[in-house]
Structure 1
Amino acid sequence: MTAIAFIGLGIMGSPMAVHLVRAGHTVAGYNRTQEKARPLAAAGGRVAESIADAATGAEVVALMLPDSPDVREVLAGEDGVFAHAAPGTLIIDFSSIRPDVTRELAAEAARRGLRHLDAPVSGGEPGARNATLSIMVGGEADAFETARPILDAVGRTVVHVGPSGAGQTVKAANQLVVAVNIGALAEAVVFLRAYGVDLEAALQVLGGGLAGSAVLAQKGANMVERSFPPGFRIDLHHKDLSIVTSAAREAGVVLPLGALVAQLVASANAVGDGALDHSALLRVVERLSGDA
């Protein structure tokens, strides 16, 4: 049993925190909107009143937050985790943020006698609910081994990919691949509809061949039904692709498909679709085809 503080109980963080309770850990959860902590409380976790309340006495502090500024504020803010965590505390950041920010915060954590892992996840809300997330972990190998029981409680594929920041770099690559796949699937759906093909039958046979993918399996039904409840929001994917394009520019590499799909996702976000699931990229392709 480990005493865990879990900060950020949204679509992803809430079911992850619940899984940790069910795995036998003591979990104190904090979220700015406290009603989002109800599932954790129902599972037997404690609802913390503040970051300080959650972090004080915790052996592990887990974060699942939207963006780099949020993580920086929660960790390094005036009343943040760094100010209240005891030396030796392990920080596991499940958020998807900029690799350079991760490295900066990890260095500051080390200066304070804390351990830090960047452990962004892939799998969306279904993966969080079912504890089947893919988790790409950056940081020291011994910290990874310490964290392994916690990571295994929320994920199925857990891999240590390198030093601090490596997890965030791999997650950026993941988001690039996912976005390009969603864009291609959206174009295929518009193309098939234009020819009056039975869409469900077409996607079924495509899914059984080389065109099959997790994206097709998980997002195809959204596009067939034109229903986009948020499993992973467009505004978050827009943020992630901004990380990809910025990091690519810094490294001096060219990502033509990434640049194009980043613009399509930016368009979806700009017209007000940011709160929809990223499969709503279909609506951008429809508009470009004159169908919307």
Structure 2
Amino acid sequence: MTQEVRAAGAVLWRGCGKATEVALVHRPRYDDWSLPKGKLDPGETTAEAAVREVKEETGFDAVLGRYLARTAYPVPTRNGSGTVPKTVDYFSAEAVSGVFAANDEVDELRWLDPTAAEKLLTRPEDVRVLRAFCEVPAGLTTLVLVRHAKAGKRDEWTGDDDLRPLSDAGLRQASALRRVLALYGPDRVLSAPRLRCVQTVQRVADDLGIEVRHEPLLSEEGYWPDPVLGVARLLAIAGDGGTPVVCSQGGVIPDLVSALADRDGVDLPAARGGVVPSKKGSFWVLSFRAPTTEDGPVLLAADYHPSALPTPSPTRS
């Protein structure tokens, strides 16, 4: 039985005046120019691996944005008897600090505009990833919309349902979310006023030294009397800028994401049979164009991550 080789990487970018530059690395072992990437460590998610590999190969700390693409190609086995499939998941990642120093894997880094970078890249699959990055502007507002983690069964809970806590499995999901959501650089945390929702993102807020702010319009009871108000509230949160994390419920998220996608003409390939997924402990990365004086925030991309635990890659929308 062949074992798939899993890897992750990023289009690392920075603003340069009004322009955008991306980082390419030269690997002397292969004598090629590529996007920074590398194999997943045991127990690592693709998002964690992408940030770690960017740091190791380029020296830069990065904040993740939208998911870009997956590439797949065969690589030789260790014993040279054949090949095994290799997949690489790529994210957009903004460089926030750091400096390059030559290392065992990379001896040169170049910051280039995307057109020049495309000409320098060695592999066609990297060109495809770069083009996916260029489909929308780089400097977007990221809003991470989280479905609360697993709680005890409703029919086995005798108290107020608002106070139903996370189960042991849910606490494990919340711990994984704490690690992965930090990679997106959150600056505030909001939640439907349900204990299970607040518990799901409480440790994210703790790490930031802030309180979880309650959002009644994003609970099932608050959303459905007037969904338009709920959509408007999420847009107002996105319009405030920064990188908010918002935790809501399974009865809200599918309709909310569908409404935003319909409003702004974003396809949702993650939705199968017209059903927008929202598993417990999953999250959507919603990428908005910053509001202007004429318009509010506009959704440009929506990526579904079915789990913060090590899982298959997210579905790009």
TM-score, length-scaled by structure 2: 0.27
Greater helix proportion: 1
Greater strand proportion: 2
TM-score, length-scaled by structure 1: 0.28
**Relative contact order (C-alpha < 8 Å, sep 6+): which is higher?**
2
